[in-house]
Structure 1
Amino acid sequence: MRQIEVSVVYLSFFQEITKTREEKLKVQEGATLRDLLELLCAKHGESFRKALFDPKTGAVYGHNHITLNGRLAHLVDKNFRVNLGEGDRVALAHAVSGG
């Protein structure tokens, strides 16, 4: 099966965890955004997984913002089962609040 290349941009806490701002990754053609998130967890370790997913439900925490080509991904599919395409750009941000 053919591979495609996608870019992943890390913002805020995800940048601290990965120690990088952006990387390009190869995934199998037909991979979903959820597949990519699982790949990122395997690559960047348990602290990345704990920051991204609620361990009780397996869902992405609501305070995380994930965009696919500039659009909030959860608005396209709340389970992130959207297929990725060649050259797609994914951004991950951990919302910060306070006063």
Structure 2
Amino acid sequence: MIKFQQEEISPVQKGKNFEMKIEKLLTDANIKCEITGGPGDRGIDIKGMKKGVKFIIECKNWRTKNIDRSIINQIEEVLSRQSNGTIGIVAVLPTEVYPS
């Protein structure tokens, strides 16, 4: 039997995969959105609109790090540059998925 060594996925690729999963969940729910994440994304990984309400999403695919006040401050800063009424969301994996 031949065994293949599984290639390790980089943290950047894990983040991109998570963004794509979130985008798919939203589009499957008929929510218009697009991935904007990447270098220089200025804290917006996904942006979209539902029933005239704009939203931005910052995705965090962290397994060993908690979301702390600095992340909340970051999304608040990003929201300050958006039009009034824009909703900010931080998308994270539940800890049950990857227990520590």
TM-score, normalised with respect to structure 2: 0.28
Larger relative contact order (CA 8 Å, sep ≥ 6):
1
More strand by share: 1
Q: Which has the larger radius of gyration?
A: 2
TM-score, normalised with respect to structure 1: 0.28
